[in-house]
């Protein structure tokens, strides 16, 4: 008798907004807004479900930053004139204003949620072999297809598995 085909691991990363309903999340992922490509922006590290912003303190500047990120991303996608500049900004991981702003939001979230929050840096070449964008080490597996790994030293999340 034939073995049944195993379920694909990819089912968790469908690009649909699904809210986290875990009682407690052990950690989180923060990602800049990418306008419909990936709808999820703050996700539970356990189930990958989205965390509703209504659960956050209004002092956390996540929505401002998401707007800024979304506009930059749109420039990258749609504007020949701004494309290069936008890509440079998105990929300026440690010194760019956009990512510095994102890192500030990440710190605010970690303090508020009292759990680790890992920042997903923008990348155009994600693979299982991706290294931490900041310290260039291999990182630790998350158990998810994307983000595939985290670096606890830099609070970064990166890579994509098969
Ligand atoms: Zn969850
Ligand atoms: Zn690192």
Q: Which of 13-17, 126-130, 149-153 has the lowest mean pLDDT?
A: 13-17
Query: What integer best gives the mean pLDDT of the chain?
Result: 87
Domain ranges of the chain: 27-122
- The pLDDT of residue 11 is 39
Nearest ligand atom owner, CA of 133: 2
Percent of the chain with pLDDT over 90: 65
User: Cα(135) to centroid of ligand 1, in Å?
Assistant: 28
Average pLDDT over residues 144-162: 94
Two tokens at 108? 């605010």
Nearest ligand atom owner, CA of 48: 1
Average pLDDT over residues 149-161: 96
Terminal CA-CA length for the chain = 28
Residue 32's nearest CA partner among 62, 77, 76 is 62
What element of type H or E holds 157?
A: strand 156-158
User: Cα(46) to centroid of ligand 1, in Å?
Assistant: 5
Cross-strand pairs, 117: 28
User: Cα(143) to centroid of ligand 1, in Å?
Assistant: 14
54/155: higher pLDDT: 155
Res. 162: pLDDT tops 80 = no
Res. 8: pLDDT tops 80 = no
37/153: higher pLDDT: 153
pLDDT digits (tens, 9 = 90+) for 79-130: 888 899 999 999 999 899 999 999 999 999 999 999 999 999 998 889 999 9
User: Cα(87) to centroid of ligand 2, in Å?
Assistant: 21
């Amino acid at each position: 008798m034939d073995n049944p085909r195993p379920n694909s691991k990819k089912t968790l990363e469908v690009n649909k907004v699904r809210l986290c309903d875990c009682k407690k999340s052990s950690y989180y992922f923060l990602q800049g807004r990418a306008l419909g490509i990936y709808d999820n922006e703050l996700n539970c590290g356990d189930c990958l479900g989205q965390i509703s912003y209504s659960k956050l303190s209004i002092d956390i500047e996540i929505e401002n930053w998401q707007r800024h990120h979304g506009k930059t991303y749109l420039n990258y996608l749609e504007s020949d004139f701004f494309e290069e500049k936008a890509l440079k900004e998105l990929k300026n991981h440690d010194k760019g204003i956009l990512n510095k702003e994102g890192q500030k939001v990440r710190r605010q979230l970690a303090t508020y949620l009292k759990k680790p929050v890992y920042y997903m840096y923008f990348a155009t070449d994600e693979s299982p072999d991706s290294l931490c964008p900041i310290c260039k080490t291999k990182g630790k597996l998350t158990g998810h297809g994307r983000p595939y790994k985290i670096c606890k030293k830099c609070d970064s999340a990166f890579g994509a598995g098969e």
